[in-house]
Structure 1
Amino acid sequence: MPVAVACAQVAPVLGAVPSNQARSAAQARSAAAAGASLVVFPECAVTGYPFSREDASAVAGPADAVGSLAASLGVHIAAGHIEAAGPDLYDALSLFGPDGARLATYRKAHLFSTERTVYAAGSSPVVVDTAVGRLGLTVCYDLIFPEYVRALVDAGASMIVNATNWITDPWQAGMGWDGSMVRSLARVRALENGVPVVMSCLAGSGGGFTSIGHSTIAGPSGRVLATLDAAEGVAVAEVVTDDADARRWSELATYRADRRPDLY
């Protein structure tokens, strides 16, 4: 059965939560009007992306307004936010159902570079049953680790959701870290696991870096179903995992069954 999914690529301002929420609501309405049953927002979409513990602490909080938005539109919404738990901060992704109920909150397991001075690492992979499939939740750097994504699929995930803020600067861009590269990440993770990947990225700039954008929805064969450039926008695509083409592809591309774990 086809499922329409959307990436809502936003450029939030750090700490400007009400205006960030208003911008996100407009994009969610656009995605719902286009028929999306699942809308995925980027990492830290609610708060903006902080580069210091002080800034992260100042904007940490629940994502309850996202649940209200999901209920008002009757869609599933996943959005990145910063969660406080005692003395610890987490780079989190919460998923809400069409009734507004929080279905799951995932805490980013793989922390990149200076993120380790800001956040605690999550320790619980999340695969959650929903009306749009079994969703494996990931945040940003998690997508770099193929074994982690593979473990989510082995645990039953039929779709990988990735909320991210891929950032770059002129030096990193010169090394090839750009929109085409991050789009390829979504494509390869989809291809090697035979499941769709919905990767929603931040746009804009902050902290001396540029958010790459290029949110991408990739089908199980790695084909790009919808994508964006570096600007704010909404990408919507219909994901089909059980039609004749999908079945033919899965019979040919038996990647998971062909593994040789005795060798590695």
Structure 2
Amino acid sequence: MTDIKDKIRIGLIQMRASRTPADNVDAAAKLIREAKDQGAVYVQTPEMTNIMEVKRDVLFEKINEEEKCVSLAAFCSLARELGIHIHVGSMAIKVAPDRAANRGFMIDPSGEVLASYDKIHMFDVDLANGESYRESRTYRPGEQAVLVDLPFGRVGMTICYDLRFPALYRALAESGASFLTIPSAFTRQTGEAHWSTLMRSRAIENGSFVLAAAQAGTHENGRETYGHSMVVDPWGRVIAEGGTEPGVVMADLDAEEITTSRARVPSLQHGRRFEITAPLAEPAHLHVVGAKT
């Protein structure tokens, strides 16, 4: 495992992505440069950095396979120019003629892709305000959790809706992750209800920093995202937070807080495997298909 450096300055890029990949790359690049100018050595962009598009036919006209992705090439070139780690929170990447991956990329200062992660949990929900999302209709879910060692420590890569599945973060932390990344495009409705609570919970449960760049505002496609890009320390304190407009959120991380928090509450060492004992008798009111009556 990579040794944890004591101090690290990071930047989160808050965006309002449009339906045009080139415009989104330009907007992200401008903000990444701002973060670099303020001293960031790691910069994270949100989920769906390259495009926010709900129409499947339009989406597949505008995206490409990873090796042909102009947006990815631009971010690799920018990381090389600036000499920093750029974590592209996620982009829509074509993996079949009618299927995409919601894929995040960790790019090193030489412009090489160190690691990529396909979002595991698909956002298939109907909200109370009438909004409906069926991510699984367009995107192929990932099957692999991903860790990557950076100069300042081990990072666990996740994306947005993964946030609601704490077992993933526990597994990453138990495998050495000290920094949990959750680039997102949370809806305004769910963000207002749950965003901060869930972010702080993942940090507290695992004694880890949580870094979450977010989409924000009303997008060209009509979708409204919550914003509030957030950095949470291992004790659950929000040390930096954005609002609802595009911009840069900066934070200085003290890695000693990871050691201190995990020493105070060493829950990562106390986890135990267990089995669930199910009821032996079937409730009388249940009808078993095929049973004799």
TM over 0.5: yes
Give the direction of change, closer, same or farther, for the CA distance of 1:151–1:246 in structure 2 (3 Å limit). closer
Counterpart of 1:248 in 2: which secondary structure? helix
Q: Does 1:67 align with 2:84?
A: no
| One-letter amino acid of the structure 2 residue matched with residue 64 of structure 1 | A
User: For residue 36 of structure 1, what is the aligned residue in structure 2?
Assistant: 40
8 Å contact kept, 1:198–1:217: yes
8 Å contact kept, 1:3–1:132: yes
Instruction: Output the CA distance in 1 between the equivalents of 2:37 and 2:193.
Output: 28
Counterpart of 2:182 in 1: which secondary structure? strand
Counterpart of 1:201 in 2: which secondary structure? coil
In structure 2, runs of 5+ residues without a counterpart are: 1-5, 125-133, 277-293
Shift of 1:56: 2.7
**CA offsets 1:104-161 (integer angstroms, 9 cap, x no match):** 1111110011001011111111101122321111111011100011111112212111
Instruction: Output the CA distance in 2 between the equivalents of 1:221 and 1:263.
Output: 30
User: For residue 184 of structure 1, what is the aligned residue in structure 2?
Assistant: 197
Q: Does 1:209 align with 2:220?
A: no
Alignment of structure 1 residues 99-118 onto 2, 5 Å:
99-113=110-124, 114-118=134-138
Shift of 1:179: 4.0
| One-letter amino acid of the structure 1 residue matched with residue 153 of structure 2 | G
Match of 2:13 among 1, 8, 15: 8
| One-letter amino acid of the structure 2 residue matched with residue 198 of structure 1 | L
8 Å contact kept, 2:106–2:113: yes
User: For residue 261 of structure 1, what is the aligned residue in structure 2?
Assistant: 273
Instruction: Output the CA distance in 2 between the equivalents of 1:160 and 1:167.
Output: 21
8 Å contact kept, 1:187–1:222: yes
Give the direction of change, closer, same or farther, for the CA distance of 1:111–1:33 in structure 2 (3 Å limit). same
Instruction: Output the CA distance in 2 between the equivalents of 1:248 and 1:148.
Output: 23
8 Å contact kept, 1:162–1:200: yes
Counterpart of 1:66 in 2: which secondary structure? helix
Q: Please, which moves more after superposition, 227-236 or 249-258? A: 249-258
| One-letter amino acid of the structure 2 residue matched with residue 42 of structure 1 | P
8 Å contact kept, 1:67–1:100: yes
Radius of gyration: which is bigger?
2
**CA offsets 1:77-128 (integer angstroms, 9 cap, x no match):** 1112111123431011111011111111111110011001011111111101
Give the direction of change, closer, same or farther, for the CA distance of 1:147–1:120 in structure 2 (3 Å limit). same
User: For residue 155 of structure 1, what is the aligned residue in structure 2?
Assistant: 175
**CA offsets 1:189-235 (integer angstroms, 9 cap, x no match):** 11110111101110132444311001101111111111101111111
Give the direction of change, closer, same or farther, for the CA distance of 1:179–1:200 in structure 2 (3 Å limit). farther
Q: Please, which moves more after superposition, 113-122 or 83-92? A: 83-92
Indicate the percent of aligned positions where both proteins have the same amino acid. Answer: 29
User: For residue 143 of structure 1, what is the aligned residue in structure 2?
Assistant: 163
Instruction: Output the CA distance in 1 between the equivalents of 2:183 and 2:85.
Output: 14
Match of 1:126 among 116, 128, 146: 146
**CA offsets 1:138-187 (integer angstroms, 9 cap, x no match):** 1110111000111111122121111110013xxxx3xxx33473122221
Q: How many residues align?
A: 253
User: For residue 55 of structure 1, what is the aligned residue in structure 2?
Assistant: 58
8 Å contact kept, 1:203–1:231: yes
8 Å contact kept, 1:59–1:82: no
Q: Does 1:95 align with 2:106?
A: yes
Q: Does 1:82 align with 2:85?
A: no
Shift of 1:262: 2.5
| One-letter amino acid of the structure 1 residue matched with residue 103 of structure 2 | A
Counterpart of 2:161 in 1: which secondary structure? helix
TM-score by length of 1: 0.90
TM-score by length of 2: 0.81
Instruction: Output the CA distance in 2 between the equivalents of 1:135 and 1:248.
Output: 18
| One-letter amino acid of the structure 1 residue matched with residue 181 of structure 2 | V
Shift of 1:58: 2.3
